[in-house]
Amino acid sequence: MRELLQSKIHKATVTEANLDYIGSCTIDEDLLDKVDLWDGQKILIVSNTSGARLETYVIKGQRGSGIIAINGAAAHQIKKGEEVIIISFQLSDKPVEPKCIYVDQNNKFVKYL
């Protein structure tokens, strides 16, 4: 078994950073559908702005809202306005066709990568 790229949301903009929250990353449900991410799924978030990297899990956000919210202690590392890449992996014994998307500055789907 190998851990392979499952999905990626490329160049998303953090819309909120909430310290008073119990962990996670809230993501617009439209984006979750495009890359096949589930509520509660583990993700890696990489900031193109600061270089910070952290692991957390997905919370489903309001569909069409464009929300990308960094919640809890992670908000110390990644702030509102930062550009991020959100990545998930999966274990497989065969190659995987990842679902990767590019979004605009309002976190709206632009194209598949």
Which of 57, 88, 102, 112 is catalytic? The answer is 57
Which of 24, 47, 50, 92 is catalytic? The answer is 24
pTM of the model: 0.96
Answer yes or no: 24 catalytic: yes
CA gap 60, 72 in Å, rounded: 16
Answer yes or no: 102 catalytic: no
pLDDT of res. 66: 98
> What average pLDDT does this structure show over 46-70?
97
Query: DSSP letters of 9-47?
Result: EEEEE--EEESSS-S-EEEEHHHHHHHT--TT-EEEEEE
> What average pLDDT does this structure show over 22-32?
93
pLDDT at 23 over 90: no
Q: What is the pLDDT of the chain when averaged over all its residues?
A: 97
CA gap 58, 3 in Å, rounded: 19
Q: Domain 2-112: which CATH class?
A: mainly beta
Domain boundaries, the chain: 2-112
